[in-house]
Amino acid sequence: MSSAAHIKMPLEAKRPAAPLIDPFARPITYLRVSVTDRCDFRCVYCMAEDMEFLPKRDLLTLEEIDRLASAFVERGVRRLRLTGGEPLVRKNVMSLIRSLSRHIDNGALDELTLTTNGSQLARFADELAECGVRRLNVSIDTLDPDKFRAITRWGDLGKVMDGIRAAQKAGIAIKLNAVALRNFNEGEIPFMIEWAHGEGMDLTLIETMPLGEIGEDRTDRYLPLSKVRRDLAARFTLTDISYQTGGPARYVRVEETGGRLGFITPLTHNFCESCNRVRVTCTGTLFMCLGQEDAADLRGALRASEGNDLLHTAIEEAISRKPKGHDFVIDRTTRAPAVSRHMSMTGG
């Protein structure tokens, strides 16, 4: 019997599904859902070592996550990304993924994907492929096992590599995500590009974002990607390309390797004007913008009735408040995080 048997098929809403358009005429077509705030790593820029996680009772059940994500799909969301915390450490997460794959099968979703640290990927790769997952983002900030252990506080790079190979073998395309960190991986980035492209993977570099207290000063690690790009341009020929994955990255082709390199630059380049996405936390809080505090509780609406009318009303009301953009800043005078929640709450 497949693990999907654990999930009861939710009732789909009966009312007509108008697309979600925000006040700046941006259609909302991309939903990221954090399925857990827990993680088996403690990356230093993401979490404090002694992170306190939410009590299990506060989390949406897998059935509730399915109902919520499916309500967004009805309203025009075409891409769904599960994230966390580490999505693959949530108990029974495969039953959720299998259930959501019905939207891929019936053409309502263009993409069902995950952002993962890769630690559990070797176990789940084949099943993910069976569920219609065609691409995965795997986060790796260094290719040096000792540095990997240090940045994740205890992660095993070998396991992540096994996971990547298993996913590739299952036919899943991998995009690597690396957070650019001063005095950590700055000198390694050219090698990471050559390695990723040699293995047939895109690589995207991310600037550190000031999300949540992490017990250290982020300015020490902040590395603007404008500088990284200048340095890379001295070594490689970088050609701007129009390639888009529906996310915020801007891509170049590295002519020497023939591979794609993405830059996610929330701090040096404001990417908000084309924002098509919203995020839901594992407690059912909808954040209309990663860089703003304003949020809407959807858990109350989910639990208030079995039908989805209240849920749709709460979603519409929230989207009508989606702000134009974020106000991130990292400098020596702004030491407090721009927003107090951690990335592991809203997911990357």
What does the binding site for ligand SF4 look like in residue numbers (CB under 6 A)?
39, 41-43, 46-47, 84-86, 117, 139, 344
Between CA 183 and CA 139 the distance in angstroms is 19
Q: Are strands 135-139 and 111-116 parallel, antiparallel or unpaired?
A: parallel
Task: Tell me: does residue 347 bind ligand SAM (CB under 6 A).
Answer: yes
Closer to ligand SAM at the Cβ: 105 or 186?
A: 186
Q: How far is the CB of 127 from ligand SF4 (least distance, A)?
A: 20
CB nearer ligand SAM, residue 95 or residue 139: 139
For ligand SF4, give the closer residue by CB, 109 or 206.
206
Q: Which of 38, 71, 84, 98 binds ligand SAM (CB under 6 A)?
A: 84
Q: Which residues touch 183 (CB under 8 Å, ≥6 apart)?
A: 220, 221
Question: Given candidates 101, 265, 281, 344, which one binds ligand SAM under the rule CB under 6 A?
Answer: 344
Residue 45 or 287: the one with the smaller Cβ distance to ligand SAM is 45
Residue 197: CB minimum distance to ligand SAM, A = 19
Q: Which helix (H) or strand (E) holds 315?
A: helix 309-319
CA 58 to chain centre: 21
Residue 310 C-beta: closest distance to ligand SAM, Å: 29
Distance of CA 92 to the CA centre of its chain: 19
Q: Pick the closest to residue 205 from 155, 291, 140 (CA basis).
A: 140
Rounded CA separation 248/95 (Å): 29
- Does residue 299 sit in helix, strand or coil? helix
Residue 209's binding partner among ligand SF4, ligand SAM, none (Cβ under 5 to 8 angstroms by kind) is ligand SAM
> What does 120 bind: ligand SF4, ligand SAM, none (CB cut-off 5 to 8 Å by kind)?
none
**DSSP 8-state class, residue 154:** S
CA angle in degrees (0–180, nearest 5) for 53-54-55 = 120
247 lies in the site for ligand SAM, by CB under 6 A: no
Q: Which residues pair with 175 in a beta bridge?
A: 137, 202
Least gap, CB of 178 to ligand SAM (angstroms): 8
121-130 vs 157-169: helix crossing angle, rounded to 10: 20
Q: 42 contacts which partner out of ligand SF4, ligand SAM, none, CB within 5 to 8 A by kind?
A: ligand SF4
What minimum distance in Å lies between the beta carbon of 21 and ligand SAM?
27
Residue 132 or 247: which CB sits closer to ligand SF4?
A: 247
Complex with ligand SAM: residue 39 or 189, whichever CB lies closer: 39
Q: Structure tokens of 42?
A: 């403690």
Instruction: Check the CA dihedral 165-167-172-178 and report its sign.
Output: negative
Q: Which residues bind ligand SAM (CB under 6 A)?
A: 39, 45-46, 83-84, 86, 115-117, 139, 177, 179, 206, 208-209, 211, 343-344, 347-348
